[in-house]
Structure 1
């Protein structure tokens, strides 16, 4: 379920939503480092800046989900999506998967606006990725027959490790991780 053995061509065909999201991650990252555009423009206009969101720049509840601060940040989040997204995209279908992913990211960003200072700035897709974990946990709790015992154990273990790392690593939006997870779990409960 979480082992990738497809060719790149098959992966793109089988998991178009995951592929599109990863392409957006990579594309936006490249636009922030290549000297084609002023590098700061994308951060200035797409980052989640709580003050600007409160002043009505609502798109900043979605756009930070696709922005990353460094190559390692983008690579780790994209790798996590490639590892855990395809199985869920296959189970849910592309439209529902995209809804869960974006809704989890928005929930994480709304919580960040509500609980962090107005000066707080945030980027990264981890809130949405934690939302996928939350959705998987809801499946484990409410739809026991959809995942094997082995896959359920993998998800629970990785979720616990990811939560521990949330509190250990510096510069992590803890609020987004926790509320992304909670949002995904609630979405998994209501949208089975």
Structure 2
């Protein structure tokens, strides 16, 4: 469910919303941080989350921080998280429901940040609130829609969720309200967007196979005593956890 096996071209075709969001993250990072174009820096100043400016009527700042990041590490980690956890949800919900969920969670995270401290001059930015909203939907599945997510993937979701939640409270420079607000937004929207959604098992093997393709014999590895499956599982879990911890150690909203 969270292991990507598609080629780059297939990924773009199967997950257009996730692909577009990642492209926006990286393009804006290049324009603002790498090339430092004047107009891009103006976008950053006009779009960064700033509660005192929202109080003055700049309500677009509840939305624009979702697409802006503080450096390459911040943009890369949020983009990696989106590539890892977004595709399955995009396929289950469909493009419209997925983007609505993503934006709604991000806006709720920014709104929570504003409502609890409307006079703050501390800037905030990043897609973390929206990504926590994705976890909110998965948590709802784990709790109430177990038919849509298997036990192994439920465990992955819970491990990452616990690590993310702990790091949210123990690390400095983290927008706690943004994370919790985004998580809550995704969780409470989940029962509405998951209505009539397709379980992962229905679509994950939907790609057709040409008759000329070489078939796979499920018994071909039974003669091997080397625990390839177990080792790959450990590597996957370890890689996910290490990357998530690395990202959560950085400055992000």
**TM-score, length basis structure 2:** 0.73
Equivalence for 1:47: 48
CA contact (8 A) 2:93 2:193 kept: no
Cα pair distance change 1:119/1:83, threshold 3 Å: same
Cα-to-partner distance string for 1:10-59 (whole Å, 9 max, x where unaligned): 10100000000000001111111214335531221110111111211111
Equivalence for 2:15: 15
The 1-side partners of 2:36 and 2:66 are apart by 23
Equivalence for 1:169: 171
Equivalence for 1:181: 183
The structure with more helix, counted as a fraction of residues: 1
Cα pair distance change 1:43/1:11, threshold 3 Å: same
- Which segments of 5 or more consecutive residues in structure 1 lack a partner in the other structure? none
Q: How many residues align?
A: 192
The 2-side partners of 1:115 and 1:35 are apart by 33
Cα-to-partner distance string for 1:57-110 (whole Å, 9 max, x where unaligned): 111111100000111000000000000000100111111000000000000000
Equivalence for 1:77: 78
The correspondence of residues 115-126 of structure 1 with structure 2, limited to 5 A, is 115-116=116-117, 117-126=119-128
- Based on CA coordinates, which of the two structures has the bigger radius of gyration? 2
RMSD: 1.2
Moved over 4 A (4+): none
**TM-score, length basis structure 1:** 0.96
CA contact (8 A) 1:135 1:187 kept: yes
